[in-house]
Structure 1
């Protein structure tokens, strides 16, 4: 199946062919699985730790192992998609994710479960690394905002329903069923994908195995450094991980600097709009990480709400994101993503500040409105920003751009979560409020970076105009 962008001329709002709709369903189902798995595992961590007789500190690796595998391998998988085709990477990743889910369900000990989660993270990384590239192959360029809006909708709904699904399963069955449900859903996604997923153009450059190894070491050590720093581990361990990150990162950048299709897309970062979009994404997802990790503690410890009330009050944020994201995607087809992103992150900043200023005994309505404001802001940023990243890269580099989308999200979330732990250690019972203010600062920085894209866009269009003359 050819890229739909070649089949629809700009300005023609032709309906999507049925085969492309089925392919989109397959891609979004896999994205939902990878997103749900993170939300479900986070919620079920105490239950899994109890069942496997593990301490809370040990059980964190059930989540960290998955996240580390994803961050460390997303860019190599994206490069692999450019070389061998995004379809192959997606199908291989989905098959691995499904098989690893079965291994997670059958794991009798924490080490075996962690190993299975690492494999599951590799599968999730392969899916995530090429998902946006596949979406861009299913939608014409002038309607790409709609496609990424659908992707944001699926992610938002998955985040929203993940804790609820985990609670329902744990109330009626053992924790292993959290992973067993992935197996039939993964098989269904494969059945949908195999006959209709499009063949995307392959790059002319081979995969660089040395760059892949350097990339894995660089980003894995970065995640370890963030985690250790957030937990206020011994300085030597944090510095050691940072030194490894810097040394191997410099080696990676030097190796990639002169390549035509580098795994770490330094060529794309030379484009101001692309670089600013990546910075915007890291800041926005760091703000989200600050909020999602600190809010449960804020609601339960500072505001003395129950676990059920906490779950209910967190829901407005992802639900509103899911509602706003498709609208924002359509708006990004008409208005500059830089303006939409700046407005959205300003709204998110205001929402986080207002949450930190809640009175000692706020009403449910007061909390829900503030959470909804955060959801509006984040939803308004997300789809236009993804479109800006993908649209500012050439089609031949869509795999690298898709990898940057996923890597920016994961690094931002990991940074936010690590800094929350640091806020708790520094401020004690006031840690959640400090974390919310930290999230507001990151949202504000992201809004500034997004606004700077308007200047970069004006400069680019002005240069093009002079060139035409």
Structure 2
């Protein structure tokens, strides 16, 4: 379990550790901010585009095998990033590293359900969630330390000794289960695997995430963004056609037909939309309305991360004893209450209510995301958990990006004067967080539609 959590930690860490070194990279290579941002975007695009593919591949070729491959690819990508002589090679290496990150991310959630006993699945997912949160939290300070004291290249080189130890331990201690016990038959794998679906899904998700990610900077009506979103629609349409024709599609029809999987995935979307939106809006509020410095804002938001990480293991373990759907529903109602409190006290001087909001949100998330993982993976058979993890991860990634667009649009609609006009800005923040509260309530009611454990065990998916 530790090996799996450490792999997920590495992938999460590398998603944030590079951000703080971007100014140094831009100065060394004489880049503009847009060019430097491509170092981040290339990793995000390849990771998002590959999640669905490697989730399915884990079910077919073996979850342990994909996890080990992912560690190897991630290490090679890290080495290539550290050695990169210029921007083009660095972006290409980051794209390759993102492929390894996708393999680690999606296979870790599927593997944790394999190495943890069924009655401890929530606890295992809680440990994994804590590792992911720790990686995201440590990324910025560790990246700053390595860049200041050594070189920006050590942001990538640090992965090599740590990853090598992790790869050795994973190979030695992760047991072979299911498809991992059989020798790898590449010809048979290529015959069975949905290659057209993989290509169309990769292209569609990549273009969709790119369009959503760059829309605010480039302009939603710019040819680049319109072309990306149109291309995404065409590619995803071709993907849907390919899935109908392939005997073993990337999107398992039996999996999608399971109510115990479909309902919680949809019920989790308000939470991921809010993470994306809150990450955008809250720093503007803390710095613009409350006068905090960037460092002070970072420390305030660290309070949320700390509470969330501390309670993730508790939330996961509790979901092994209490119905995870009840925990998820109650947690979303709690998050809605936090948003209402925050929206109602925006005008109150001081930091008491923003800090209470961050603590309350950390508690709600700690008792939501690990139980949600338990609910999603516990509702499908072990041989489908790679695909389930892939679908769940893709939905989350898209919603994180879409949440930025949604909440920015809400803020702009209700704050025409922008952040510079205090009264207008408060109206924008209030509207955004009240909409978030409403979405959380809808999500809570939706999650209650998930069948109980007895129903999950006895209900078979509908026939095609």
Q: Give TM-score, length-normalised by structure 1.
A: 0.86
Offset from partner CA, 1:400-437 (integer Å, 9 cap, x none): 01212322221222212344555676642166974675
Report if the CA contact (8 A) 2:58-2:386 is conserved.
yes
Which residue matches 1:363? Answer: 350
Which residue matches 1:16? Answer: none
Q: CA separation in 1, counterparts of 2:5 and 2:155?
A: 20
SS at match of 1:199: coil
Offset from partner CA, 1:20-70 (integer Å, 9 cap, x none): xxxx22111111111111122233333333333222222222211111101
- Greater than 6 Å deviation, 4+ residue runs: none
Q: CA deviation at 1:349?
A: 2.8
* 2:232 maps to 1:238: no
* Counterpart selection for 1:417 from 396, 404, 426: 404
Q: CA separation in 2, counterparts of 1:69 and 1:106?
A: 20
Report if the CA contact (8 A) 1:290-1:435 is conserved.
no
Which residue matches 2:205? Answer: 219
Provide closer, same or farther for how the CA distance between residues 308 and 462 of structure 1 changes in structure 2, counting only shifts above 3 A: closer
* 2:300 maps to 1:313: yes
Report if the CA contact (8 A) 1:273-1:453 is conserved.
no
Provide closer, same or farther for how the CA distance between residues 100 and 381 of structure 1 changes in structure 2, counting only shifts above 3 A: same
Report if the CA contact (8 A) 1:283-1:445 is conserved.
yes
Q: CA deviation at 1:334?
A: 2.2
Which residue matches 1:143? Answer: 120
* 2:311 maps to 1:324: yes
Q: CA separation in 2, counterparts of 1:419 and 1:58?
A: 25
SS at match of 1:175: coil
Which residue matches 1:86? Answer: 63
User: How many pairs does the alignment contain?
Assistant: 442
Which residue matches 2:334? Answer: 347
- Which structure 2 residues correspond to residues 166-177 of structure 1 after superposition, within 5 A? 166-177=143-154
* Counterpart selection for 2:172 from 190, 195, 204: 195
Offset from partner CA, 1:318-372 (integer Å, 9 cap, x none): 1111111111111211222222112212222333344445556743444322111
SS at match of 1:333: coil
* 2:91 maps to 1:104: no
Report if the CA contact (8 A) 1:104-1:113 is conserved.
yes
* Counterpart selection for 1:405 from 384, 392, 400: 392
Q: CA separation in 1, counterparts of 2:293 and 2:194?
A: 52
Q: CA separation in 1, counterparts of 2:148 and 2:349?
A: 30
Q: CA separation in 1, counterparts of 2:373 and 2:252?
A: 16
Report if the CA contact (8 A) 2:70-2:104 is conserved.
yes
Q: CA separation in 2, counterparts of 1:112 and 1:38?
A: 18
Q: CA separation in 1, counterparts of 2:430 and 2:235?
A: 33
Which residue matches 2:5? Answer: 28
Which stretch of structure 1 is more off in the superposition, 422-431 or 217-226?
422-431
Which residue matches 1:389? Answer: 376
Q: CA separation in 2, counterparts of 1:229 and 1:89?
A: 33
Provide closer, same or farther for how the CA distance between residues 176 and 419 of structure 1 changes in structure 2, counting only shifts above 3 A: farther
Q: Give TM-score, length-normalised by structure 2.
A: 0.87
Report if the CA contact (8 A) 1:290-1:419 is conserved.
yes
Gaps of 5+ in 1: 1-23
SS at match of 2:448: helix
* 2:108 maps to 1:131: yes
Provide closer, same or farther for how the CA distance between residues 222 and 117 of structure 1 changes in structure 2, counting only shifts above 3 A: same
Provide closer, same or farther for how the CA distance between residues 362 and 182 of structure 1 changes in structure 2, counting only shifts above 3 A: farther
Q: CA separation in 2, counterparts of 1:79 and 1:185?
A: 28
* Counterpart selection for 1:372 from 354, 359, 374: 359
Q: CA RMSD in A?
A: 2.7
Q: CA separation in 2, counterparts of 1:124 and 1:437?
A: 36
Q: CA separation in 1, counterparts of 2:139 and 2:86?
A: 24
